[in-house]
Amino acid sequence: ERQAWSNKTEYILTSLGNAVGLGNIWRFPYKCHKHGGGAFLIPYLIMLVIVGYPLLLMEYSMGQRAKKGAIGVWSRVSPYTTGIGMASLVVCLILGLYYNVILALGFYYTANSLRVPLPWRSCPTVNTGLNNTAVAVKECVASSPTVYFWFRETLDVPVSIDQGEALNGWVVLASFVAWLVLFVGLVKGTTSTGKVMYFAVFFPYLVLTAFAVRTLSLEGALDGIAFLFKPDNPAAWLDALAQIFFSIGLGQGTYIAFASYTTTHNNCVFDTLFVATVNSLTSLFVALIVFGVLGIPGGTGLAFITFCDAILNFPGSNFWSVLFFFMITSGMGSVLGNFTGVVSLIRDLGGIYLVEILDDVYVGTGLLYIVLCETFAVALLYGIKR
């Protein structure tokens, strides 16, 4: 018998937790800055209306009606579209794996935020051997303490890809904690997932509200926020479309899986409007905070480098650092969503059926497409006579 959500609240919170995550915290502010603030918001809102709402409603309604995960839904549409569900499975696995790495880094930074002073406040020193004098590490001085802590203390990146060193034991421990939290959230299916979401969804909003209040008291905060709404570069449509897909989480089969555990007559139109709207408002809320604190946000290093620099200027920086990075770890909602999609697919198919579909779609049909492409490439592009 298929599981069901304990109540509608847990279902909505789980959907919202899947949508609201790292895409809102670092990707949306970065894209806003890249395209000049207001020039990005206009196509983003248009794409939300003409792409985000309709596709989310489609995924909700299909899962709710079929009571199956992505593979089950698409195989019912047509045997030839089963590969869409398989692609969703692969995407969920990939996203879940690298999202959990980021959660592990969030746990690592949360633990280091308890150290006084913060370990990225100043450069580490080394003993020169001359009169026991200590000097700052040159690499750190040439960059910054936050950059050095990220690349050397946390990631310990080698000079080249073939010169990897030993594992960072503390990061490995943080990864174990992240996977343990994921296990606890999934062990009892929708029952445990829904309970975890009460914390995973509400806690980030409490932290963001605290940051918003603190941000408004910073000098120059209004100038940074004003830049967010300043139109500049109109070439933002493709990034706006990609942000809608990335932020809401469309095409991953997750919402199909979520909806498959609801009743057939659930109001999925309300679910669509609520989840997509709150997700977009959250992105805008985060952007207001980031632009107010930083003025001009950085790229993908926003969370672990740029924001670390900003936190150092806050009174009681340890407190704000713990709040921020613990909020990053509450992004487990997205990971839970991804793996819920994976688990629902496996539960629907069973082991041997999954093997048969992999054999048919990826080996059988996949090789057929490859051979067809080879034939056309030789016949049309290279030339039979050659």
- Write the pLDDT tens digit of every residue in 219-228: 778 887 887 7
Residues 180, 312, single domain; the answer is: yes
The percent of residues in the chain predicted with pLDDT above 70, rounded, is: 80
Q: Is 318 labelled a binding residue?
A: no
CA angle 157, 158, 164 (to 5 degrees): 105
Q: Is 160 labelled a binding residue?
A: no
Residues 359, 250, single domain; the answer is: no
User: Is residue 144, in this structure, part of any structural domain at all?
Assistant: no
Out of 51-55, 115-119, 140-144, 247-251, least confident range: 247-251
Per the omega criterion (within 30 degrees of 0), is the bond before 117 cis? Answer: yes
Residues 228-250: what's their mean pLDDT? 76
Helix, strand, coil percentages (3-state) for the chain, rounded to 5, are 75, 0, 25
27 touches 282 (CB < 8 A): no
Residues 30, 105, single domain; the answer is: yes
User: Is residue 161, in this structure, part of any structural domain at all?
Assistant: no
User: Is residue 3, in this structure, part of any structural domain at all?
Assistant: no
User: Is residue 249, in this structure, part of any structural domain at all?
Assistant: yes
User: What pLDDT, on the 0 to 100 scale, is given for residue 222?
Assistant: 82
User: Is residue 323, in this structure, part of any structural domain at all?
Assistant: yes
**Best-predicted range by mean pLDDT (85-89, 193-197, 264-268, 277-281):** 277-281
Residues 65, 187, single domain; the answer is: yes
pLDDT at position 113 over 90: yes
User: What pLDDT, on the 0 to 100 scale, is given for residue 95?
Assistant: 76
Contacts of 218-222 spanning 24+ positions with Cβ under 8 A: 218/292, 218/293, 220/295, 221/292, 221/293, 222/292
pLDDT at position 352 over 60: no
pLDDT at position 160 over 70: no
> What CATH number has the domain bearing residue 24?
1.10.4160.10
Out of 12-26, 47-61, 113-127, 222-236, least confident range: 222-236
**283 vs 228: CA distance, rounded Å:** 12
Residues 267, 210, single domain; the answer is: yes
Out of 129-138, 266-275, 331-340, 358-367, least confident range: 358-367
Q: Is 334 labelled a binding residue?
A: yes
Mean pLDDT computed over every residue of the chain = 79
Q: In the structure, what pLDDT confidence band is assigned to residue 365 with cuts at 50, 70 and 90? A: low
pTM of the model as a whole:
0.76
Q: Which carries the bigger pLDDT value, residue 281 or residue 342?
A: 281
User: Is residue 152, in this structure, part of any structural domain at all?
Assistant: no
Q: In the structure, what pLDDT confidence band is assigned to residue 193 with cuts at 50, 70 and 90? A: low
Residues 182, 228, single domain; the answer is: yes
Out of 169-173, 238-242, 353-357, least confident range: 353-357
User: Is residue 141, in this structure, part of any structural domain at all?
Assistant: no
**373 vs 385: CA distance, rounded Å:** 18
Residues 22, 70, single domain; the answer is: yes
User: What pLDDT, on the 0 to 100 scale, is given for residue 135?
Assistant: 86
Residues 341, 355, single domain; the answer is: no
Structural domain count, the chain: 2
User: Is residue 145, in this structure, part of any structural domain at all?
Assistant: no
Q: In the structure, what pLDDT confidence band is assigned to residue 359 with cuts at 50, 70 and 90? A: low
pLDDT at position 173 over 60: yes
Phi/psi class of residue 249: alpha, beta or left (left: φ > 0; alpha: ψ in -120 to 50)? left
pLDDT at position 78 over 70: yes
User: What pLDDT, on the 0 to 100 scale, is given for residue 182?
Assistant: 82
Q: In the structure, what pLDDT confidence band is assigned to residue 53 with cuts at 50, 70 and 90? A: very high
For residue 335, the enclosing domain spans 8-114+169-349
**153 vs 122: CA distance, rounded Å:** 13
**24 vs 285: CA distance, rounded Å:** 9
Residues 208, 61, single domain; the answer is: yes
> Nearest Cα to 56, choosing from 274, 239, 261, 286?
274
Give tens-digit pLDDT for 290-337.
888 766 556 556 677 877 888 888 888 899 899 888 887 766 667 777
User: What pLDDT, on the 0 to 100 scale, is given for residue 35?
Assistant: 77
Q: How far is CA 33 from CA 36, 278, 335, in A?
A: 5, 21, 27
Residues 224, 301, single domain; the answer is: yes
Residues 73, 215, single domain; the answer is: yes
At residue 7, what are phi and psi to the nearest 5 degrees? -160, 170
Q: Is 20 labelled a binding residue?
A: yes
Residues 315, 344, single domain; the answer is: yes
Q: Is 168 labelled a binding residue?
A: no
Residues 230-255: what's their mean pLDDT? 77
User: What pLDDT, on the 0 to 100 scale, is given for residue 205?
Assistant: 85
